[in-house]
Structure 1
Amino acid sequence: MAVYEQIGKGYDLTRRADPEISAQLAVHLQLKSDYSYLDVACGTGNYTLALAKHGGVWYGVDQSKQMIDTATNKSSAVAWQVAESEALPYADETFSSVLCTLAIHYFAALTPAFREIYRVLAAGCFVLFTDTPEQINKYWLVEYFPEAIYKSAEQMPSLEKVKYALKQAGFKSIDIKPYFISENLQDLFLYSGKYRPEIYLDENVRSGISTFALLASADEIAAGCERLAADINTGRSTEIVNKYENNQGDYLFVIADKVATSAKE
């Protein structure tokens, strides 16, 4: 995840674990105090540390030394390590559950990474928090930053590809749960400003979002922000937001069980 070396230093200015997302992840992971858990592509460890408060013995890996250094400086309660998702430095069946949030689009290939995750899992589940190209193309941001949103959707694996790779890796049971952005979301990732368009005018917010920091041109950002600011002032931005409402969810929780417990999908 070398791209995050670019934005890692200021990442935590606007990126933090959202309590609502953390609580939902804790339920999906079925956390228990004496069990071990792994966060793959953990970044600066925001969700790893938030979930550690819910219970369990936690490990975190990321390709970015910048991110792991930041996580290590935050807490020694988690065993942090720089590692590739396709070559996890753990024995077979080490963990009760594995987590990955907003990162699978940076995997070199899904199936090898998922096979590694399957290998280090005991009989638990792999929980993904992600979005799909179909969801990204329904973000109202496309009105103001069309090229960046197109590139963001293009780099994101489709839900069908994710499900296929999970099955190729050995997972038998896959459950999909939609997630809808709330108005008080605390982790300022790409669509966190769904109901707060003004946050995208803040350079600090944009710098913590890879779509803006890495995919959008300076000209597109300048022009898009100018039009967005004008629409916020006139109230037209509310109409734009409402036009893009959908019932498919803004993001997804994908829960894949190593041992199928029910015929989910």
Structure 2
Amino acid sequence: MIYNKTGQTYNATRKADPFIVDKLFQLMAPKPDQLYLDIGCGTGNYTIALADKGLKLYGVEPSEQMLKQARAKNPQIKWQTGTSEKIPCEHSLFDGVIATLTLHHWINLEQSFKEISRVLKNKGRLVIFTSTREQMKGYWLNKYFPAILRSSIQQMPAYRDLEEAVKASGMVITAREKYDIHKDLQDSFLYIGKNNPYLYFDEQIRNGISSFALSADDKEIQEGLSSLSHDLEHDQFIDIKKRYANDLGDYVFITVEKK
């Protein structure tokens, strides 16, 4: 598992971004004494940040290396080994679920939403923060790392597939809100360098991004960085970035409800 390999350095560049935490909290609209689940919680960055805002949470994650770090940071939260397709919890346990930057790791989208529906109470809410296949095609990274982005785009669900999987689970999408990369973003996920391409020259940042960490094509990475360096040095990057400009947003918040 890739995150068992990268988990030891993951926290060096992956932090809970305050804006994203506040948005998740707002969309979840939590009430006192309710119980929430963070599915695909990783090392618990967002789980812990939301717990600090008063939420009572469980964290479920397949990587033992990730969970080891999560437990060390906050032993009060209940951390469990599991996947989106097989959540180790009883029926109708949670009032809400969050899924942050994890959909591209779900093996079976339809089964995952059915499983989330199983552990979610009636009228419970699922809040997703993700990118979609359509959005990723608009990343200027495609110009410099085409094979890596092609693989990542293939792994990411298209919005229509996500919509159909939610419908098959008996839940309903009630809202979606696009997100564009903020200049002060503190979580170094894939498109962190949208407005600051120099960030991709930092190997530590690349190692915290699964698209780069999963890639066995070091040659493409080095050639892409060389090409990016050339375009930055010769003032060509701005024109490249403009070619990829669109109004789809870079990521999206999706609210789902179990009726």
TM-score (norm 2): 0.96
Matches of residues 91-240 of structure 1 in structure 2 within 5 Å? 91-122=90-121, 123-215=123-215, 217-240=217-240
Q: Which amino acid aligns with 1:75?
A: N
Aligned 8 A contact 2:81 2:88 in 1: no
Q: Deviations over 1:31-73 (max 9, x none)?
A: 2232111000100000111111222211100011111111001
Residue 34 of structure 2 aligns with which residue?
Answer: 35
Secondary structure at the aligned position of 1:257 is classed as strand
Whole-angstrom distance in 2 between the partners of 1:186 and 1:197? 15
Whole-angstrom distance in 1 between the partners of 2:88 and 2:143? 43
Aligned 8 A contact 1:32 1:55 in 2: no
Runs of 4+ in 1 over 4 A off after TM superposition: none
Would the alpha carbon gap of residues 216 and 235 (structure 1) be closer, same or farther in structure 2, given more than 3 Å must change? farther
Secondary structure at the aligned position of 1:186 is classed as coil
Aligned 8 A contact 1:173 1:258 in 2: no
The alpha carbon displacement at 1:216 in A equals 5.5
The alpha carbon displacement at 1:244 in A equals 1.6
The alpha carbon displacement at 1:132 in A equals 1.1
Q: Deviations over 1:160-187 (max 9, x none)?
A: 1111111111103432211111111110
Aligned 8 A contact 1:31 1:54 in 2: no
Would the alpha carbon gap of residues 52 and 192 (structure 1) be closer, same or farther in structure 2, given more than 3 Å must change? same
1:88 to 2:81 alignment: no
> Which 5+ residue runs of structure 2 have no aligned equivalent?
none
Q: Deviations over 1:108-135 (max 9, x none)?
A: 2011111111111112111111111111
Aligned 8 A contact 1:31 1:55 in 2: no
Aligned 8 A contact 1:147 1:216 in 2: no
Q: Deviations over 1:180-222 (max 9, x none)?
A: 1111111000001100100001100100001111135110011
Whole-angstrom distance in 2 between the partners of 1:197 and 1:238? 11
Whole-angstrom distance in 1 between the partners of 2:3 and 2:196? 25
How many matched pairs?
258
Identify the range of structure 1 (31-40 vs 42-51) with the bigger mean alpha-carbon deviation: 31-40
TM-score (norm 1): 0.94
Q: Which amino acid aligns with 1:243?
A: R
Secondary structure at the aligned position of 1:172 is classed as strand
Residue 262 of structure 1 aligns with which residue?
Answer: none
Secondary structure at the aligned position of 2:192 is classed as coil
Whole-angstrom distance in 2 between the partners of 1:162 and 1:100? 13
Aligned 8 A contact 1:144 1:224 in 2: yes
Q: Which amino acid aligns with 1:82?
A: T
> Which 5+ residue runs of structure 1 have no aligned equivalent?
260-265
Aligned 8 A contact 2:166 2:173 in 1: no
Would the alpha carbon gap of residues 243 and 173 (structure 1) be closer, same or farther in structure 2, given more than 3 Å must change? closer
Residue 48 of structure 1 aligns with which residue?
Answer: 47
CA RMSD of aligned residues (A): 1.2
